[in-house]
């Protein structure tokens, strides 16, 4: 990955999409590996798991009735899939287990391919985030992928990310900037942009308890499932601004000393000026990779001040930011990585800096 340039904004160092962060170096992210069938990551996103269930249903129908009945696969909620697994000895549970095995095989194959990349060599642990891990089927798939990698002699540990997937992408934002920039403040604003949802929140820092952010918590957050509304890009930014402004008002009412900082996790390759070089195809309503569009600039223009101070915006890839939420859990690992299973398969790899 190209070394990102540093600029100055409001007297503070800025490096959107930076390789060098306060506690880690980002050795890679958004790997776009392909084979003859296309991008390999497409075989282990949440749609791929649905596809695996549907494929098994079609095969079973060739020899009899479908144990899942008439309900379309896409209409099955995560809770309903987990409920099927709980039935244990039924054909429905067996069908879902078969789909989990297929998905786990694909995930293990993808991780094995990543581990061959120079930037991933020596990886000791891989944390798995994204909404897929927040249910029994997802956790089983992660565990099965671990078994397959072990069986292939790959000595790497795969673990679900510790934080709830709704919060990991917000909590990681505090690790994008040096702690000294946040001294004297109670909280920062964080935004996690995905292909289906946008979440914005206030992250309470609790620096008096622990200066390393280990006590940081999401105090308030708001979720917008933009995939249901299919907004244009301009409408998306306007809605996001309203979300952030509402959170600022709540923090003010709670008498928080809110830092004038917005940390953002966003899909794609993030250029040093905050533009999206590529990989933003799943973002809502328009070309986010346009040379005429810059999300940090758009937010600064819409929200020029926070708590009477000029707004400071810092943005990185969403898989990087989710991975950063696990920094403190990786204290015993020098090289580690993160994958996020959602609309796409995000990925990032890290090397811990000497503390």
pLDDT tens-digit series, residues 90-135: 999 999 999 999 999 999 999 999 999 999 999 999 999 988 888 9
What is the percent of the chain where pLDDT is above 70?
A: 96
Q: Looking at the chain, list the stretches that DSSP marks H as alpha helix, in order from N- to C-terminal side.
A: 46-61, 78-86, 91-114, 136-151, 165-171, 226-229, 233-253, 295-302, 318-324
pLDDT tens by residue, 55-90: 999 999 999 999 999 999 999 999 999 999 998 889
- Token pair recorded at residue 342: 């959602």
Is the per-residue pLDDT at 1 higher than 70? Answer: no
Angle, helices 295-302/233-253, rounded to nearest 10 degrees: 50
Predicted local confidence at residue 13, as pLDDT: 53
Taking the C-alpha atoms of residue 202 and residue 321, their distance in angstroms, rounded to an integer, is: 15
Non-local CB neighbours of 140 within 8 Å, separated by 6+ positions: 85, 97, 100, 104
Predicted local confidence at residue 88, as pLDDT: 80
Residue with tokens 């979300």: 243
pLDDT tens by residue, 205-256: 998 878 888 899 999 999 999 988 888 999 999 999 999 999 999 999 999 9
As a whole number, mean pLDDT of residues 127-144 equals 92
CB 122 within 8 A of CB 101: no
**Residue-range domains of the chain with CATH:** 34-160 (3.30.420), 166-325 (3.30.420.40)
DSSP-based three-state secondary structure for 106: helix
Predicted local confidence at residue 248, as pLDDT: 98
Radius of gyration of the chain (CA): 21
């Amino acid at each position: 990955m190209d070394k990102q340039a540093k600029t100055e904004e409001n007297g503070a160092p800025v490096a959107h999409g930076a390789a060098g962060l306060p506690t880690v170096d980002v050795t890679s992210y958004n790997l776009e590996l392909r084979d003859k069938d296309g991008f390999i990551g497409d075989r282990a996103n949440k749609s791929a798991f649905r596809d695996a269930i549907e494929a098994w249903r079609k095969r079973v129908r060739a020899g009899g009735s479908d144990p899942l009945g008439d309900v379309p696969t896409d209409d099955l909620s995560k809770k309903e899939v987990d409920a099927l697994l709980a039935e244990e000895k039924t054909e429905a549970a067996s069908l879902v287990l078969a789909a989990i095995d297929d998905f786990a095989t694909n995930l293990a194959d993808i991780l094995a391919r990543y581990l061959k990349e120079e930037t991933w060599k020596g990886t000791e642990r891989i944390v798995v985030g994204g909404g897929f891990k927040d249910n029994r089927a997802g956790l089983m798939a992660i565990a099965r992928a671990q078994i397959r990698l072990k069986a292939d002699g790959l000595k790497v540990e795969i673990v679900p990310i510790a934080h709830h997937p709704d919060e990991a992408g917000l909590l990681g934002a505090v690790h994008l900037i040096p702690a000294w920039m946040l001294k004297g403040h109670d909280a920062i604003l964080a935004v996690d942009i995905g292909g289906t949802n946008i979440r914005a929140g206030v992250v309470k820092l609790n620096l008096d308890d622990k200066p390393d952010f280990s006590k940081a918590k999401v105090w308030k957050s708001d979720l917008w499932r933009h995939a249901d509304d299919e907004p244009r890009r301009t409408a998306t930014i306007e809605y996001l601004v309203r979300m952030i402004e509402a959170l600022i008002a709540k923090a003010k009412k709670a008498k928080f000393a809110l830092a004038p900082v917005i940390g953002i996790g966003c899909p794609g390759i993030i250029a040093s000026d905050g533009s999206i070089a590529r990989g933003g195809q799943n973002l809502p309503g328009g070309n986010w990779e346009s040379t005429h569009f810059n999300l940090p600039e758009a937010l600064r223009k819409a929200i020029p001040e926070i708590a009477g101070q000029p707004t400071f915006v810092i943005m990185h890839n969403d898989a990087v930011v989710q991975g950063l939420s696990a920094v403190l859990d990786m204290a015993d690992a020098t090289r580690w990585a993160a994958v996020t299973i959602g609309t796409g398969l995000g990925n990032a790899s890290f090397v811990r800096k000497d503390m």
